[in-house]
Amino acid sequence: PPMIKLSDYQAPAFLVRHVDLKFCLHPTATRVFSRLECVPNTGKSAFLLNGEELQLISVEIDGKPLADDALILTETTLEIAADALPDGDFTLCCETEINPEGNTSLDGLYMSKGMYCTQCEAEGFRKITFFPDRPDIMATYSVRIESDEPVMLSNGNPTASGPGWAEWHDPWPKPSYLFALVAGNLVSYDDSFLTMSGREVGLKIYVRPGDKHRCEYAMDALKRSMRWDEQVYGREYDLDLFMIVAVDDFNMGAMENKGLNIFNSKYVLASAEIATDRDYELIEGIIAHEYFHNWTGNRITCRDWFQLCLKEGLTVYRDQQFSGDQRGHAVQRIDDVKMLRARQFREDAGPLAHPVRPEEYIEINNFYTATVYEKGAEVIGMLRTLVGAEAYERALTLYFQRHDGQACTIEDWIKVFEDVTGTDLAQFKRWYSQAGTPRISVKEDWDGNTYMLTLTQKTDPTPGQPDKQPLVIPVASGLLGSDGTELHSTEVLVLDKAEQTYRFEGLPEKPIPSLFRGFSAPVIVERKISNAERAFLLANDTDPFNKWEMGRAYALDLLSVLATDAESTIEPDFLNAMATLLEDQTLDPAFKALALSLPSIEDVMDAVRQGGGTPDPMACYDALSRLDTAMAGRMKGTIEQIYNALDNDGPYTPDPQAAGERSLRGRLLGLISRLEPNVETAMRHLAHADNMTDIMQALPLLIRAGRPEAKEALGSIYESWKHNDLVLDKWFAAQAMATPPEHAAEAVAQLTEHPDFHWKNPNRFRSVIGVFAMANVAGFHRADGAGYKLLTDWLIRLDPVNPQTTARLAGAFETWRNFDDGRQALMLGNMQRIADLKGLSKDTGEIIGRILE
Ligand code: HT7
Ligand code: ZN
């Protein structure tokens, strides 16, 4: 398949001003009639339209059928010869037939449990009708839907309807990837919102009958998002109606189609008994994210898909700001950084590394990555840190004013900041083009009066980028005295050379630096620092992020030793520091839960590698168990006391305070269970659970302990919830994640035999195969290769059905070079099996190809 390159971008030969669509819906033979109002844009040339899996019935220009020799039809395009086109504007009418039921890729128009729905980002519209399917073609749309379905929806405002038909009009020009259509037997949960200029907007969440009582939280999150965007960014909603539809079969989390967001049901539906606190948090964040796209993505869109971070990085940054305002910035930042490190740092360090703005791709769906999204958001956070909050606000105002209604580039984005601040941001812009995570080394000098801090930056080569240039890195730093007082409060140092020295004069003593406060840049800090200093900062740093960071660094230091020498002893100072933290009355429970949690197994494996070793996943798993057990032993009495005190008899509420207390209680339950071979407390926790959070805290502990009671609990949860897919997903996931690594592959293989393992449903596939490969790390990497074989067998089966989801999960192999020779050979052999498949999708082919390169 061809490589698409940013450097090949050309303006479209024709623009489309308006689109009329008529759909006569049928599960296997839907007719689509399109009428495009076209305008020449770059001089006389052929008109190239995209079209895939379409049956062409007819084409007309200005009401006249085209001669056969004026058309070239291929598997993926329809080309109309230049001399068959009039000189000025023209209308192009096409009739096509498509098969929604046969569309298992969940891209284009497809069916989910009898309901019609669409997914057009990035290139799904071309599976609906012939169209120049590129985001720089922005048009208004009028849509008529004909079918017997009780509910028929499309973008914009409803204009008319009658028995068997409905019409919609979207007055805002939009790219085709934002088109949406939904039809089916749905009910709506309704509310309204009064905008800042006093307009009343109807709000509707469409779900299947029976789910209406689970929409309240999503609706509340939507109204809070709408208000927040008005108050913080001055952005008002722009249609009379805002709709969300929950769909069970969906490749990703949600989609921001204009006025008609389509969501994976798991990010809409919530009630105490089916959703965990984490689900509530994700629902809030994703509702906000999709809503915020209305301005950052829809009103101002991307010129081409290389600019994806323009909308995604900015929208992630905005949803993180929102969630911080709702839930507390310290905990939000720690959660965001944990995610960034787990997914984006991993990507940046391996064969799939690419810049925030990639320069080439085979399949754009493979570039909806942690780098584009999460690193893209970090880049915006750094820009805001560097220019200041006030200039950021002015730049954003200018961005909305200057570019409303346009399809833009990263150059346009940078230019508004340059114009507002009068500074040249050319060097900063390297963050968009240079892949890899910079490593920062730190050197300190103290002459009795002046403290000198020397920072060095270095970025390792990444695929296609052997040489790296210095980046502009904001280093938010403070200095502490030996009594814990702040000798120098937070200041942003700007590191923009390979090496730089910063001087601090007139200090009474050699300070202890607290660097990259709030994680002010997405870098790896390589600072040789003693555990005593880590313990000091853990106890004294005024920056909550770095306080957490120091506990993590201390734990990682011990874990990397334990993972290579199982006999080594555990420093009592670490255990004492954790005990002090647990008893600290000034810290909030959600923060405590994070600070008392140990790093992930991947973090431990990385730490072993940093120390020059090759990590054994099982030894890393055991090291975590040992340190966890030692912590539990050291804090035994206190843990139980605080665990009991956190028992809340009141009804479940999903608010951040209650959720924070539950997360601390869950962490303490995990510690208590380390000391109880019969996991009595976890059994009681489960028996008294009146909400899914409590169930999901206890259940994995029973599974991990291999207790027969786990089977009983799983049986009774299954019986109660076998008709609820979202609960069943958790039921499957708990087993795939918590089954001890030694026999996880067999247990997961058995789960795939379960009659409810509907593998064509992405949520179900991910909750079994995805969770096993990504969250049961020691089980997946079992030395005999059973985990690799299981994943590969399933990827081979899924690829022809759903390439997008297959390609995403094939990323489980991206770290293959980090392992010992035996595991490398096993992973390589399995990847080769995929690569050799006849008819392999370009999605999976590209991912495996890049991993193997
Ligand atoms: N902009 C959307 C990204 C997306 C997507 C969503 C659902 C299914 C397939 C998809 N491909 C790309 C989601 C977002 O970032 O908000
Ligand atoms: Zn998005």
Q: How far is CA 175 from the centre of its chain?
A: 23
Backbone angles phi, psi at 261, to 5 degrees: -65, 135
Round to whole Å and give the CA distance between 286 and 102.
29
State the DSSP string of 605-655: HHHHHHTT----HHHHHHHHHHHHHHHHHHHHHHHHHHHHHT---SPP--S
Q: Which of 41, 40, 88, 46 is nearest to 66 (CA)?
A: 46
Cα of 809 from ligand 1 centre, angstroms: 16
Mutate to test the pocket of ligand 1, among 176, 255, 260, 286 (most ligand atoms within 8 A of CB): 255
Task: Check: CB of residue 289 under 8 Å from CB of residue 316.
Answer: yes
Same topology between domain 439-528 and domain 529-675 = no
Question: Running DSSP on this structure, what letter comes out for residue 2?
Answer: P
Question: Is there an atom of ligand 1 within 6 Å of 289 CB?
Answer: yes
Q: Report which protein residue has its CA nearest ligand 1's atom 12.
A: 121
Task: Check: CB of residue 291 under 8 Å from CB of residue 229.
Answer: yes
Domain 439-528 has CATH 2.60.40.1840: yes
Backbone angles phi, psi at 309, to 5 degrees: -65, -20
Task: Check: CB of residue 705 under 8 Å from CB of residue 673.
Answer: yes
Give 77's strand partners: 50
Question: Is there an atom of ligand 1 within 6 Å of 843 CB?
Answer: no
Contacts for 821 with CB less than 8 Å, ≥ 6 apart: none
Query: Which of helix, strand or coil describes residue 246?
Result: strand
CA 481, 485, 489, 492 torsion-angle sign: positive
Q: How far is CA 208 from the centre of its chain?
A: 26
Domains of the chain, by residue range, sit at 1-99+126-177, 439-528, 529-675, 722-853
Q: Which of 489, 469, 590, 601 is nearest to 543 (CA)?
A: 489
Cα of 141 from ligand 2 centre, angstroms: 22
- Give catalytic status of residue 509 as yes or no: no
Question: Is there an atom of ligand 1 within 6 Å of 255 CB?
Answer: yes
Q: Say if strands 47-50 and 77-80 run parallel, antiparallel, or are unpaired.
A: antiparallel
Q: Which of 172, 187, 161, 107 is nearest to 138 (CA)?
A: 172
| Token code pair at residue 401 | 């004013």
Backbone angles phi, psi at 651, to 5 degrees: -70, 155
Contacts for 486 with CB less than 8 Å, ≥ 6 apart: 478, 479, 480, 542
The pTM (predicted TM-score) of the whole model is: 0.99
Mutate to test the pocket of ligand 1, among 121, 283, 302 (most ligand atoms within 8 A of CB): 121
Round to whole Å and give the CA distance between 199 and 236.
10
Q: Report which protein residue has its CA nearest ligand 1's atom 7.
A: 252
Backbone angles phi, psi at 254, to 5 degrees: -170, 170
CATH number, domain 529-675: 1.25.50.10
Question: Is there an atom of ligand 1 within 6 Å of 119 CB?
Answer: yes
Round to whole Å and give the CA distance between 85 and 90.
8
Q: Say which of 290, 363, 661, 846 is annotated catalytic.
A: 290
Question: Is there an atom of ligand 1 within 6 Å of 540 CB?
Answer: no
Cα of 314 from ligand 2 centre, angstroms: 9
Cα of 362 from ligand 1 centre, angstroms: 18
Ligand nearest to the CA of 263: 1
Output the CA angle 131-133-134, nearest 5 degrees: 145
Q: Which of 372, 375, 505 is nearest to 446 (CA)?
A: 505
- Which atom of ligand 1 is the closest one to the Cα of 312? 15
Cα of 368 from ligand 1 centre, angstroms: 8
Ligand nearest to the CA of 118: 1
Question: Is there an atom of ligand 1 within 6 Å of 603 CB?
Answer: no
Q: What residue ranges of the chain have pLDDT lower than 50?
A: none
Mutate to test the pocket of ligand 1, among 176, 282, 316, 368 (most ligand atoms within 8 A of CB): 368
Cα of 290 from ligand 2 centre, angstroms: 6
* ipTM over 0.90 threshold: yes
- The pLDDT score that the predictor gives to residue 749 is 99
Q: Burial letters for 702-740: b for 16+ Cβ neighbours within 10 Å, e otherwise?
A: bbbbebebbeebbeebeeebeebbbbbbbbbbbbbbbbe
Rg of the Cα atoms in the chain: 28
- Which atom of ligand 1 is the closest one to the Cα of 289? 16
Round to whole Å and give the CA distance between 745 and 811.
18
Cα of 847 from ligand 2 centre, angstroms: 21
- The pLDDT score that the predictor gives to residue 173 is 98
Q: Which of 332, 337, 294 is nearest to 174 (CA)?
A: 294
Task: Check: CB of residue 146 under 8 Å from CB of residue 23.
Answer: yes
Round to whole Å and give the CA distance between 162 and 615.
65
CATH number, domain 722-853: 1.25.50.10
Q: Superfamily for 1-99+126-177?
A: tricorn interacting facor f3 domain (2.60.40.1730)
Ligand nearest to the CA of 313: 2
Output the CA angle 270-757-105, nearest 5 degrees: 80
Question: Is there an atom of ligand 1 within 6 Å of 290 CB?
Answer: yes
- The pLDDT score that the predictor gives to residue 649 is 82
Q: Say if strands 260-264 and 241-247 run parallel, antiparallel, or are unpaired.
A: parallel
Round to whole Å and give the CA distance between 405 and 255.
19
